[in-house]
Structure 1
Amino acid sequence: MVTISSFRYLICSLLLPVAVAFAAPNPTRTVLVTGGAGYIGSHTCVELLQTGKYNVVVVDTLDNSCMESLERVRELTGCPKESLAFRKCDIRDEETLQSVLDEFPGIDSCIHFAGLKAVGESVANPLMYYDCNIGGTTTLLENLSARKIKNFVFSSSATVYGDPEKLPITEDSDLSATNPYGRTKLFIEEILRDCYASNPELWNILILRYFNPIGAHPSGRIGEDPQGIPNNLMPFVAQVCVGRREKLSVFGDDYDTPDGTGVRDYIHVVDLAKGHVAALEKLYTDESVGCEAVNLGTGKGVSVLELVEGMAKATGKPVPYEISPRRPGDVAAVWANPDLAQNMLGWKAELGITEMCEDTWRWQSTNPMGYKEEIVVEN
């Protein structure tokens, strides 16, 4: 059966060579992507390479990712070998990082994803998070500045808004954090603002605050592959659907929301990846960006039960779940005002909850154990 998402992927695949062939003859740029083998990083690599404008150098520790994702990026994009390079590197290791920058002197921008991201783990081991996320970022910035690599896109998070006082959330909302993970994002944002203030000529920075990335590439070839028990809702739901988990725990059904469950701004990972490309384009074409934060979201809230119902439609069967007590620190509703992204970057989310669920299921059903195992589906 040909679904809307699979048809969308087929059309994009057919049009890609034409689009690249007729692209404006801009010089090829080389972008360093830290954490590029991970969930959002791999999807961003696809979108960067599909423009035909970028060569990509990925550095990653592979602690929470694997090389297979990048092999599939090559497969999806059909890019020449020299257009996508990988070097295993912990960005806290200055000697190795310097060797990568020396090996690829054409690098003139950086998209920074690398870091730890589990809230519960950050509460249990805050020093590990401060060392990895903040220490890694400062080492990275020192080495980029030494080479005058000024265009910098930082992967931040809506966690920096804490428990928002008003909705939708705009970029000038109050900032706070309720856990060490969120504080590392908030502190790094402050570090970036301080770096720019100290030498405006040296930096051109966009901070992307995104809300709840879900979904997968419409081909089903790359997607989210968390190690151990998933920390986020959608991969847990997907693992329940594929039989890896018995049932979903819905934490609280007595919030002040339409169905009593928490409401979040879910954004398709492909839309999110395109947002990073739009941000990079902005930096290359406008040297006066300075250091600005931009929300990447849909501007719409979706409840936990609405997401569960979406996955039930995508899979054709109910998703087993139980209602559990609220978790400390969870808020009732969070969603973005994405107007600045559209006005500044020319970007807006295009994919809805149907595509998010269908693409998640295509990924999970053909890769039930993530990148460790794949099921070949015959047409």
Structure 2
Amino acid sequence: MRVLLTGGAGYIGSHTALVLLEQGHDVVVVDDLSNGNRIALDRVEELTGRSVTFVQADLTNTTATRVTLANTNFDAVVHFAGLKAVGESVEQPVRYYRTNLASTLTLLDIMAERQINTLVFSSSATVYGEPQTPLVAETHHTGVGLTNPYGWSKYMNEQIITDAAVARPDMSVVLLRYFNPVGAHPSGRIGEDPAGIPNNLLPFIAQVAVGRRDKLSVFGDDYDTPDGTGVRDYIHVMDLAEGHVAALNYASCGVQTYNLGSGVGTSVLEAVRAFEAVSNRPVPYQISPRRSGDLATVVADPRLAQEKLKWQTTRTFADACRDAWNWQSQNPAGYGETVRVVIGSPAATVERTLDDKAISTR
């Protein structure tokens, strides 16, 4: 197939592009580069020896996107595009709703105009709100107890896409609710490069280990868990990418929904210790008060995806830590912003230029 990846220059999108190319598909990426990086796609091409068709466009502008994609053909869509920081969504709710919903509406319009019927949507376990059980299956209620505009936007998008599929019975839609993506490609050439302060645990731990951050804040150590810290289900980004390709291959008429997770919980302190073991570096942390809305344990029930998509995770959390450290240590400044980080003793600094072409150590 020739697959359109919206937001394909981002973290999960770039890894999915790589897996699609490795499996013989052609890839078209449309991205406005607000959260993605063109360098990631250059490296995907380097790793696979195949080219990616890149189109820079803002999906919230329907007319401009329609014009930009006028001469670009594709057979199916994987929709990653959107803003994704939970905390930022609380501070900028209108921006999140406008971006995340308008991009989906534009995409559905263009798909209908071209009679493109296959869509895989990047949803999130946040649609479950505050789960009533630690092990969360697809049958759990959604849209109840949601605490932030990011989660609401994912829930609303699921409803919009489902309604569009009802109106177009020839559509084949897969909604993928994934839990906590972590890790990087084992080459260390592509990985997670969050703008500003990381919102997720593992990239923050990695930045502490490499010297970009002083310490990690652990929010609460008095939960009903083995060590008192929150337990979450972490899924290696390469497993996640393979899950998207499995969903594309399986898609059939109607709407199907699957969790993508490992089914295994890891606590915050277990994550810290695992990362210290693979990096051989300390990860200083401090215990901070609980955050409102945080739950003790949230783990995916992935059995439906295993049964229907013939997909399951094959990589462990330790693998994710190893690959994340390989990425972070090779790319202490991510894809190219200039930063100064301590990389050894005696203290040394690394500076990387904006175009990712030069690096100096002193």
Normalising by the residue count of structure 2, what TM-score does the alignment of the two structures yield?
A: 0.91
1:190 aligns with 2:159: yes
Identity of aligned residues (%): 54
Ranges in structure 1 where 5+ consecutive residues have no aligned partner: 1-28
1:75 aligns with 2:43: no
Q: Which residue of 2 aligns with 1:103?
A: 71
Q: Which residue of 2 aligns with 1:23?
A: none
The alpha carbon displacement at 1:271 in A equals 0.3
1:153 aligns with 2:120: yes
Q: Partners of 1:324 and 1:194 in 2: how far apart?
A: 43
Q: Partners of 1:252 and 1:167 in 2: how far apart?
A: 18
Q: Which residue of 2 aligns with 1:112?
A: 79
Ranges in structure 2 where 5+ consecutive residues have no aligned partner: 337-351
Query: Match for 2:267 among 275, 294, 303?
Result: 303
The alpha carbon displacement at 1:100 in A equals 4.0
Paired letter, 1:180: P
Query: Match for 1:343 among 307, 320, 334?
Result: 307
Q: Which residue of 1 aligns with 2:100?
A: 133
Query: Match for 2:183 among 215, 229, 237?
Result: 215
Query: Match for 1:94 among 54, 59, 62?
Result: 62
| CA root-mean-square deviation | 1.2
Paired residue total: 338
Q: Partners of 2:78 and 2:85 in 1: how far apart?
A: 20
Paired letter, 1:119: V
Aligned pairs for 1:269-288 within 5 A: 269-283=237-251, 287-288=252-253
The alpha carbon displacement at 1:96 in A equals 2.9
Q: Partners of 1:139 and 1:65 in 2: how far apart?
A: 19
Q: Partners of 2:47 and 2:159 in 1: how far apart?
A: 37
The alpha carbon displacement at 1:33 in A equals 0.3
Q: Partners of 1:117 and 1:209 in 2: how far apart?
A: 14
Query: Match for 1:245 among 190, 209, 213?
Result: 213
Cα displacement string for residues 90-143 of structure 1 (whole angstroms, at most 9, x for unaligned residues): 1112233213432123x1100000000111111111110110000111111111
Query: Match for 2:31 among 48, 57, 60?
Result: 60
The alpha carbon displacement at 1:311 in A equals 0.4
Cα displacement string for residues 297-326 of structure 1 (whole angstroms, at most 9, x for unaligned residues): 000110000110110001112211010001
Question: Which structure features the higher share of helix residues?
Answer: 1
C-alpha contact (below 8 Å) 1:92/1:140 kept by paired residues: no
Cα displacement string for residues 117-175 of structure 1 (whole angstroms, at most 9, x for unaligned residues): 11111111111011000011111111111111010000000000111111311101011
SS in 2 for 1:370: coil
Q: Partners of 2:169 and 2:196 in 1: how far apart?
A: 42
Q: Partners of 2:293 and 2:17 in 1: how far apart?
A: 33
Cα displacement string for residues 54-80 of structure 1 (whole angstroms, at most 9, x for unaligned residues): 11110001112211000000001011x
Moved over 2 A (4+): 99-102, 373-376
Q: Which residue of 2 aligns with 1:313?
A: 277
Paired letter, 1:51: Q
1:366 aligns with 2:335: no
Query: Match for 1:165 among 128, 132, 144?
Result: 132
SS in 1 for 2:3: strand
Q: Partners of 1:281 and 1:231 in 2: how far apart?
A: 32
Q: Partners of 1:121 and 1:337 in 2: how far apart?
A: 28
1:262 aligns with 2:230: yes
Q: Which residue of 1 aligns with 2:349?
A: none
SS in 2 for 1:205: strand
Cα displacement string for residues 193-252 of structure 1 (whole angstroms, at most 9, x for unaligned residues): 111222212x11000000000000000000000011111111110000000000000000
C-alpha contact (below 8 Å) 1:189/1:207 kept by paired residues: yes
Q: Partners of 1:169 and 1:67 in 2: how far apart?
A: 36
Q: Partners of 2:204 and 2:279 in 1: how far apart?
A: 14
Q: Which residue of 1 aligns with 2:286?
A: 322
Q: Partners of 1:95 and 1:249 in 2: how far apart?
A: 44
Q: Partners of 1:62 and 1:101 in 2: how far apart?
A: 16
